[in-house]
Structure 1
Amino acid sequence: MSRTITAKPLTAEAFAPFGEVLEAAGAPDFMINAGLCGRYHDRARPQTDTEGAVTLSIGRSDAVSLPLALKMMERHPDGSQAFVPMNGTRFLVVVAEDDVGSPRRPQAFVTNGAQGIQYKRNCWHGVLAPLSGPADFLIVDRIGPGSNLEEHHVSEPYIVVVD
């Protein structure tokens, strides 16, 4: 079995099983601010359990080196998690289906620098992986009681490459 994953360009259709792509693509839904701003409305809805709250944070991440050795994946059972680059940084997005509590068949995508993503609640994903950095990201996720983090360490790393 090959342990190499080639990242594909990120598209809303390919990423749909794992969450939403956040981007200003196509015509805006409507205009606001006296016609000066096109609003791309309701692109994703943050998810949280009844005990949590949605928060906005900023994360500053160092760049990853390619090829990337994927040794661990994580998920957040109590809420969704979104990352939006604040300075046009392209980043690698690694996601996987769930297989009875473990990630299965990881896939990788690479953003175009004008895209953010929101992982669905309980979606297995890799760590934040900017391709240049340090890079700042707006983070939208759940805060509240309990542990909202599960990690899965793989016995043999996957190798992620970008064409």
Structure 2
Amino acid sequence: MSRLTPESTSKSLQPQLLTAEAFAPYGEVIDRKQHTHFLINGGSTERYHQMANVETGPEDGRAIISIFRKPVANAFPFRVEMMEQHPFGSQAFIPLKGRPFLILVAASAQAVEQGDLALFISDGSQGVNYAAGTWHYPLITLEDDDELLVVDRQGDKDNCNEIQRPDSDVWIAYPSSLPS
């Protein structure tokens, strides 16, 4: 049995810089450089207010805060064999260690099946907030022992759908350059 390698595939994605405009079809970019602030606490603190909206969906939903820790970074290159979505709530990822990470998204299940994916790279200070229903790959870290703060939905309704693509011809390679 032959094993597929990136060289034998038809599609290898390269990441584009994460900007609010480019990411808008999939959700919101959480980036203080793209927001204004106002002073609070007697002028001692800058507040970057409402940088993303938490969607909790049906009445049983509530927002929760978690930390996702990846002891071992993704092994590159890897084949995109699955994607997931959260139909009832948004899901935000905010880097805690200032490290770049990759964001792989698709606008619809049909886009996932056709391989119409978009790959972004955070500069390590930017986070993302996937809109409810956005298809995405699980967390893609570039370094071992990375951590991201996650804000998402908890509730009684199942809020995770997956598409399995074991025959995928889409590969993700380690980025040739990292944002500075």
Instruction: Using structure 2 for the length normalisation, give the TM-score.
Output: 0.83
If each structure's strand is expressed as a fraction of its own residues, which one has the higher value? 1
Provide structure 2 residue ranges, at least 5 long, that are not aligned to the other structure.
1-8
Q: What SS does the aligned partner of 2:158 have?
A: coil
State the 1:69 CA deviation. Answer: 2.0
Per-residue deviation, residues 6-50 of structure 1 (Å, max 9, x unmatched):
111111110010011111105632111221222211111110112
Q: What SS does the aligned partner of 2:52 have?
A: coil
Q: How does 1:101-116 map to 2 (within 5 A)?
A: 104=114, 105-116=116-127
Q: What SS does the aligned partner of 1:156 have?
A: coil
2:33 aligned partner: 25
CA–CA distance in structure 2, aligned partners of residues 126 and 27 of structure 1: 27
State the 1:77 CA deviation. Answer: 0.5
Q: Is the 8 A contact 1:95 1:125 kept in 2?
A: yes
Percent sequence identity is 36
1:124 aligned partner: 135
CA–CA distance in structure 1, aligned partners of residues 98 and 122 of structure 2: 10
Q: What SS does the aligned partner of 2:60 have?
A: coil
Q: Would you say 1:39 and 2:47 are equivalent positions?
A: yes
Per-residue deviation, residues 103-130 of structure 1 (Å, max 9, x unmatched):
5511100100101110000100001011
CA–CA distance in structure 1, aligned partners of residues 154 and 38 of structure 2: 31
1:139 aligned partner: 150
Distance 1:26 1:4, change over 3 A: closer
CA–CA distance in structure 2, aligned partners of residues 95 and 145 of structure 1: 26
Per-residue deviation, residues 117-151 of structure 1 (Å, max 9, x unmatched):
10000100001011112111111000010211101
If each structure's helix is expressed as a fraction of its own residues, which one has the higher value? 2
Instruction: Using structure 1 for the length normalisation, give the TM-score.
Output: 0.92
2:91 aligned partner: 81
| Higher Cα Rg, which structure | 2
CA–CA distance in structure 2, aligned partners of residues 48 and 27 of structure 1: 23
1:156 aligned partner: 168
Q: Is the 8 A contact 2:38 2:48 kept in 1?
A: yes
Q: Runs ≥4 in structure 1, deviation > 6 angstroms?
A: none
Q: Would you say 1:51 and 2:60 are equivalent positions?
A: yes
Per-residue deviation, residues 72-120 of structure 1 (Å, max 9, x unmatched):
1000011010010111121000000214595551110010010111000
